[in-house]
Amino acid sequence: MKSSRAVVLTWSLLSFSLLAMAMGLMTGSHGWEWGVSWQDPIVQDIRLPRTLGAWLAGALLGLSGALAQGLFRNPLADPYLLGSASGASLGVAIALALGLWGYAEAGQFSYAMQWWFRLGLTGMAFIGAWVAVLLTLMLARGAEQTLRLLLAGVVVGVVLGAFTSLVTLAFPQTLPAMQSFLLGNTTMLSGQACMMLAAVWLLCLVLSCLLSPLLDGLRLGEATAQSLGLQVKPLRILLLAVMGLATATAVAQTGLIAFVGLVAPHLVRSRLQGCYASLLLLSSLMGGALLTTADVLARGLWAPQELPVGVLTGVLGGGYLLWRLHSPSAKAM
């Protein structure tokens, strides 16, 4: 029964994703365009990479959210718990500050700073997210104690967020670009970005499914998982690395997208209870469908003005969680 329900949910999410992608190809700067030509260069070069990239970024966030909730055994865990969001923001702020300083002081712009700036905003966001994850692991002295890891992630996030504020105060010209990153943005997704997102998504999905027996064991408690012969410590570190890679890649390409990684696993668990391998796959598909839909709505609801997709996911995701908290018919999270 559960397997047939999982198959139905999988095909439903795939069908909905294809429908949302088709709508994304028909949504431009003037809203929804029903008579669009698929051979149009605008469709092929701009709308297709953006729509496909939004789905892949959402799939990475949905997968990362399911991993976070399984590893921390907390239904309110999200992909940004290890401080990756604050680290990525700091990386972007530093890249923007270095770029502005280099433009103003071109004669004193060192080769080292040129090398850092050539990484671009995406590269610096990726590096910043990974530095934050590594700092969290170092502060927590490994991944053995879940509570210590959570507290370390909160501390790292607050400290790196404070440094980001200091950088933006020192270079106020960076505020418009930083605002775009913090609110979430899919406009800069390209074909190369889509290929990288797809490669990382496939890698993370395969690795997480192979390592999913640990998450099934942790449902029964860490002592029970160890008694089942699972190597809890090394497997947990590997899953944290997969989670960090998925989160850092998505954030580096689209900025901070709120609630997708938190809501996607909840929506799946409200329809299906099963092994973690199927939960990870379905959460990933749900995340892709959610972010693609939000991106289409962000482009079309207020055309020609475009809403920040991160704000839209925050409103919709927050509304869903409020309903889950207060609806008497909703299951406990």
Contact 244, 262 (CB under 8 A): no
More confident residue, 176 or 87: 87
Cα separation, 77 vs 203, in Å, equals 22
Domain membership of residue 331 (yes or no) is no
Helix (H) / strand (E) containing 245: helix 232-254
Question: Quick one: pLDDT at residue 158?
Answer: 93
> Residue 119 — pLDDT band, cuts 50, 70, 90?
low
The mean pLDDT of the chain is 84
> What is the per-residue pLDDT across 52-69, written as a single tens digit (0 to 9) for each?
999 999 999 999 999 999
Is 57 within a domain? yes
- How confident is the model over 212-225, as a mean pLDDT? 77
* 278 CB burial (10 A radius; 0-12, 13-18, 19+): buried
Split at pLDDT 50, 70, 90, the class of 292 is: very high
The alpha carbon of residue 319 and the mean position of all alpha carbons in its chain are separated, in whole angstroms, by 19
| Inside any domain, residue 26 | yes
pLDDT at 21: 93
Instruction: List the CATH number of the domain containing 321.
Output: 1.10.3470.10
Dist CA 74 CA 298 (whole Å): 30
Number of compact structural domains in the chain: 1
Residue 332 falls inside a structural domain: no
- The packing angle between helices 309-326 and 175-183, to 10°, is 40
Q: What is the pTM of this model?
A: 0.88
Is it the case that residue 112 has pLDDT exceeding 50?
A: no
Residues 252-266 have a mean pLDDT of 91
Residue-range definition of the domain harbouring residue 182: 2-326
Could you give the CA distance from residue 79 to residue 265 in angstroms, rounded to a whole number? 11
pLDDT value, residue 105:
43
Question: Within 10 A of 299 (CB to CB), how many other CB atoms are there?
Answer: 27
Residue the block writes with tokens 């290890």? 82
Contacting residues for 104 by C-beta, under 8 A, at least 6 apart = none
Q: Is 283 part of a structural domain of the chain?
A: yes
State yes or no: pLDDT of 108 exceeds 50: no
